[in-house]
Structure 1
Amino acid sequence: MARERGLDGLERILENVTTADQPTDPAAALLRAAADGDADAVAVALRAGADIESRDEHDRTALLLAATYDHVAVAELLVAMGADPDALDDRHDTPWLVTGVTGSVAMLEALLPANPDLTIRNRYGGLSPIPASERGHVDYVRRVVRTGIDLNHVNDLGWTALLEAIILGDGGAAHQEIVRILLAAGADPGIADGDGVTPLQHAEQRGYDEMVALLRR
């Protein structure tokens, strides 16, 4: 498979693995290597027969572990070998959804070739731009708005990414920039929360003057 996909470095690793090098529990070795960020050990575990979709006690796959700990090289290898970017764990996270929490643009880029399902929701009913907007991940939001993901998605709390940037943000420069990016990308400032309070009203209530100015344009 590595040869067919032109993965020369991985092919060399797999060809040089001896029986003595192979782990006795390939699945456990795969998951451990993914969590540790050891791409060579991941390759060895796969060569030893590990199922690429093996799961740990929390139903996390190797790709989800790589995404969680931001091990981009491991994720690139696993994606190249066909790992599922949509595998859900027991917290209803996927490798893709995790990027909205970590804010890793490099991981986002590593996962996009696997064509992740951008409509899968996390345990709060949200898509990846929502936690990213809450946490102030400016670069991530700037990149994710170009994927075609639904920026007006409303989570189970009744909040969009725009609302979370205002309600759960600190009103500072990072969250101001996120509001600017979301609006420029087509986020609807007229979508109110479950109580009918709009993004503009939330910004006004909090004294976030810069956001107010952006929302009034």
Structure 2
Amino acid sequence: MANYNNLTMKGSGENKKNSYLHKLIRNGNIHKIKLMLPSIKDINEKNDQGYPPLLYACEQENNDEMLELLLEQENIDPLAQESIEKQNVLHILAFKGKLFWIVKVFEKFPDLPVDTVTIDGNTPLIMAAKMDHIDVIEYLHRKGANINHTNEKKYTPLHYAAINGYPISTKRLLELGANIDARDDRKCTPLMKTCSWNFLEICKILVYNAADIDAQDSLGNTSLAQAVKRGYTEVVKFLLQAGANPNITSKDNYNNIFTPLISACKLNNIVLVKILIEKGCDVNYPGNDYSEALFQCIRVGFYDGVLELLKAGVDLCGRNPRNRKTPLEQAIKFNQDDIASLIQENL
């Protein structure tokens, strides 16, 4: 029988060092795979991207018969099934939601580590959480997977469920013991992440399960601040109704200080301005010297915002600490004639 181990293939205009078995797997040629398997010297030989045949087969569509054939081979080494990204068969099968084959792998290799990590620190359970494969999450958890494992970004499976808007996965992960206030590398909790993506249902699930609604990230942003900055009205309403503090301050990358109201004024968002004022946002922050919300309105020509701030008792006599101008002088400087007239009428 022919020796196929040293054959290579070419494709897409570049040389690809693949065994003939890899080529057959890619083409789905089951008949030839069956014929050549008895002659294979190294069933774990990798191609140029680090994929041994079993891992390569996991990547293919309609691969059930191929996987069955390869798993029957006595010398298959699950610890060798690792690509250059350090993914093994469990990572790929979990990402694809192939529970049946994950079970088969563990039946053949009962001592296979369930929390093996990729080069980015992802476990199979994290891969399943990224794609909302609840049955895989549950099975891996039963096999002992760490429900709170963090990858290189410090994301947990719950972070991925929250970021991607998966309500059932979010609930199940919490039931399985996920840390609801886990912090990523920027100190963001799953609640902050889901509010950044406007997933109201996930926001409600997390808040109703006692997530820290006023937790702050590395810049001081709360979940409310994240939602306001992106103009997510319904999320903002819910968070305020649930008791979020509207006066917690945060910073931007230039060290400027914001409250949610200041952010809403900067965005020229009258709906959010009204909601935040109604819920007790301090219109005169930082107080004493000046109202940053008022000066933000003046900068962007936000007449309706100024009007709402006036109704709420904003101080018109403070001075901008950067140039010592009053609100009226600032409005004149920026040629905001309507705002200047409105301020003058209320002095």
> Same fold, TM exceeding 0.5?
yes
> Once the 2 structures are TM-superposed, how far is the Cα of residue 106 of structure 1 from its aligned partner?
0.8
**Does structure 1 conserve the Cα–Cα contact (< 8 Å) formed by 2:284 and 2:291?**
no
Aligned runs of 1:128-207 on 2, under 5 Å? 128-154=260-286, 160-167=292-299, 169=300, 171=301, 175-194=302-321, 195-207=323-335
Distance 2:332 2:220 in 1: 34
Distance 2:182 2:137 in 1: 22
> Once the 2 structures are TM-superposed, how far is the Cα of residue 126 of structure 1 from its aligned partner?
2.6
Aligned-partner SS, 1:20? helix
Aligned runs of 1:60-99 on 2, under 5 Å? 60-99=188-227
What is residue 4 of structure 1 aligned with on the other side?
Answer: none
Show CA shifts across 1:113-163 (max 9, x none). Answer: 4322333211233311111101212210011110112110028x9651011
Distance 2:213 2:292 in 1: 23
What is residue 46 of structure 1 aligned with on the other side?
Answer: 174
Distance 1:44 1:22 in 2: 11
**Does structure 2 conserve the Cα–Cα contact (< 8 Å) formed by 1:138 and 1:177?**
yes
Distance 1:200 1:33 in 2: 48
Distance 1:63 1:91 in 2: 16
Aligned residues: 196
> Once the 2 structures are TM-superposed, how far is the Cα of residue 18 of structure 1 from its aligned partner?
8.8
Amino acid at match of 1:206: F
Amino acid at match of 2:319: A
**Does structure 2 conserve the Cα–Cα contact (< 8 Å) formed by 1:68 and 1:98?**
yes
Change (3 A) 1:42 1:18: closer
Q: Which stretch shifts more, 175-184 or 105-114?
A: 105-114
> Once the 2 structures are TM-superposed, how far is the Cα of residue 61 of structure 1 from its aligned partner?
0.4
| Identical positions, percent | 24
What is residue 161 of structure 2 aligned with on the other side?
Answer: 33
Moved >6 Å (runs of 4+): none
What is residue 130 of structure 2 aligned with on the other side?
Answer: none
> Once the 2 structures are TM-superposed, how far is the Cα of residue 30 of structure 1 from its aligned partner?
0.8
Aligned-partner SS, 1:26? coil
Q: Which stretch shifts more, 136-145 or 119-128?
A: 119-128
Aligned-partner SS, 2:202? helix
Provide structure 2 residue ranges, at least 5 long, that are not aligned to the other structure: 1-134, 149-155
Provide structure 1 residue ranges, at least 5 long, that are not aligned to the other structure: 1-15
Amino acid at match of 1:193: N
The correspondence for 1:20, drawn from 124, 139, 147, is: 139
Structure number with greater Rg is 2
The correspondence for 2:242, drawn from 97, 111, 114, is: 114
Q: Which has the higher helix share?
A: 1
Change (3 A) 1:132 1:66: same
Q: Does 1:57 pair with 2:185?
A: yes
Task: Give the superposed CA RMSD.
Answer: 2.4
Amino acid at match of 2:147: P
Amino acid at match of 1:119: N
**Does structure 1 conserve the Cα–Cα contact (< 8 Å) formed by 2:319 and 2:325?**
yes
Q: Which has the higher strand share?
A: 2
Normalized against structure 2, the TM-score is what? 0.52
